[in-house]
Amino acid sequence: MPKHDFNHVTTWVFDLDNTLYPPHMRLFDQIETRMTGWVSRSLGVSTEQANHLRATYWQLYGTTLAGLMAEHGIEPHDFLAHVHDIDFSVLSPDPALADHIAALPGRRIVYTNADAPYARRVLAARGLDGLFDAVYGVEHAGFRPKPERQAFETVFALDALNPATAAMFEDDARNLIAPHALGMRTIHIAPEAAPAPHIHHHSDDLTAFLARLAEPVWPNPPDRSLMLTPP
């Protein structure tokens, strides 16, 4: 992974869920359970039907919320407050990740399909609060979700971000299509690679990937004779 691929980057954009914490912490499992319960109660359908709708809307619309808004005209704030009322104790701080994010040159932002208040609670639980210049949620995109290009364009315009000098870290490969088209460097953070033209880099460990960015780069193989201690 050539470090020089990132020499032009002055803005670092991070997704939140399953990106700034690893999937094995299973925080999002709680959210999915609460989504299913909310859909079941609000639409008067069985748990099985609600779970099917949750997954189907996520696939078709980018988020369950976007599908509920499009298909049922639901008001988003109550939904977001309910599904994000979860136990954050499953998350643990990652001092190494915090150090590597802090060392990135330029601006650092979070952009999530969840809302910003929830994002800040996740950052606090991971020991990452205070490291980011801005935190953007789906509300900042007018509740239009990633992977819609308009959602990215709305948030990036709000941030005055130049995609040509930015990098995007995401766990959902489809959410990197628009960033790539806009000219960003794209990094897929997920247990399994999903090779595609719109993905520049893949890693199953964000902390390790950022650590490699901090490693020195030798423009040519070092002359080891210069490293020898003279007799």
**For the domain that residue 33 is a member of, what is the CATH number?**
1.10.150.450
Specify if 228 maps to a domain.
Answer: no
Are both 62 and 44 inside the same structural domain? Answer: yes
Are both 133 and 154 inside the same structural domain? Answer: yes
90, two tokens = 């499953």
Q: What is the pLDDT of residue 3?
A: 78
Residue-wise pLDDT for 112-135, tens only, equals: 999 999 999 999 999 999 999 999
**C-beta neighbour count of 178 within 10 angstroms:** 22
Print the domain residue range for 48: 27-83
CATH number at residue 172: 3.40.50.1000
Beta bridge partners of residue 108, listed in sequence order: 12
Residue-wise pLDDT for 179-230, tens only, equals: 999 999 999 999 999 999 999 999 999 999 999 988 765 555 554 444 444 4
Q: What is the pLDDT of residue 1?
A: 52
Specify if 226 maps to a domain.
Answer: no
The torsion angles phi and psi of 184, rounded to 5 degrees, stand at -85, 155
Question: Of all residues in the chain, what percent carry a pLDDT higher than 70?
Answer: 92
How far, CA to CA in Å, does 60 sit from each of 71, 72, 145? 11, 14, 11
* Angle of helix 47-61 versus helix 64-72 axis, rounded to 10: 100
Are both 107 and 152 inside the same structural domain? Answer: yes
Are both 203 and 118 inside the same structural domain? Answer: yes
The number of folded domains in the chain is 2
